[in-house]
């Protein structure tokens, strides 16, 4: 059975924590960049801006 790595609701993204840490490592520890990218993803799928 396939493992879900990301679930997106109207105002929430549930992400496998391993994906988040892998993304931070990929960005050489720049967690703020990863946070911004996830926020932009949420905004793009929910159509909302904060």
pLDDT in tens for each of the 50 residues of the chain? Answer: 567 888 888 788 888 999 999 999 999 999 999 999 988 988 888 776 54
Q: Which residue has the tokens 């490592």?
A: 25
* Domain annotation covers residue 40: yes
Domain residues for the domain of 38 are 6-46
User: Do 15 and 41 touch, CB atoms closer than 8 A?
Assistant: no
* Domain annotation covers residue 1: no
In this prediction, residue 1 carries a pLDDT of 59
d(CA 45, CA 14): 13
d(CA 27, CA 11): 25
Provide the domain count of the chain: 1
User: Do 38 and 16 touch, CB atoms closer than 8 A?
Assistant: no
* Domain annotation covers residue 39: yes
CA torsion through residues 44, 41, 48, 36, sign:
negative
């Amino acid at each position: 059975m396939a493992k879900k790595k990301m679930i997106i609701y109207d105002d929430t993204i549930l992400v496998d924590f391993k994906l988040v840490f892998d993304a931070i490592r990929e960005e050489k520890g720049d967690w703020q960049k990863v946070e911004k990218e996830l926020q932009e993803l949420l905004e793009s799928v929910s159509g909302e801006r904060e």
